[in-house]
Amino acid sequence: MIFLLYPIIGRSCSGKSTKIYELLHQEAASGHSCVLIVPEQFSYEAEKQVLLHSDPQSAQNIQVYSFRFLAARMIDRYCPQHLPFISSRGKTLLM
């Protein structure tokens, strides 16, 4: 498994988002699985953009995760015993 990180920097409206979706499409079209991590409020828009910039076949290789969903997915995958989260009463005791 190979992890690639593409740092893309630039001014506002310089085409950074377009470049990200182009890179995702290229990697996905070549058969690689891709993950795009976005803030919660941007996940729906990012999924729409993935579908607009990719063909249906390569879009299946691209997954869009919000930070919260990614954290939940990692907990499910690597902590199978599902340790209980702290209850509201426990939070009150901590404060």
Question: What pTM does this model have?
Answer: 0.71
pLDDT at 60 over 80: yes
Cα–Cα dist 87/91, whole Å:
6
Residue ranges with strand state E in 1-95:
34-38, 62-66
Summary mean pLDDT of the chain:
87
- Please provide residue 68's backbone torsions phi and psi, each rounded to the nearest 5 degrees: -65, -45
Q: List the structure tokens of 50.
A: 């993935």
Cα–Cα dist 12/15, whole Å:
8
The whole-number pLDDT of residue 83 equals 67
Cα–Cα dist 26/18, whole Å:
12
pLDDT digits (tens, 9 = 90+) for 74-85: 888 887 676 677
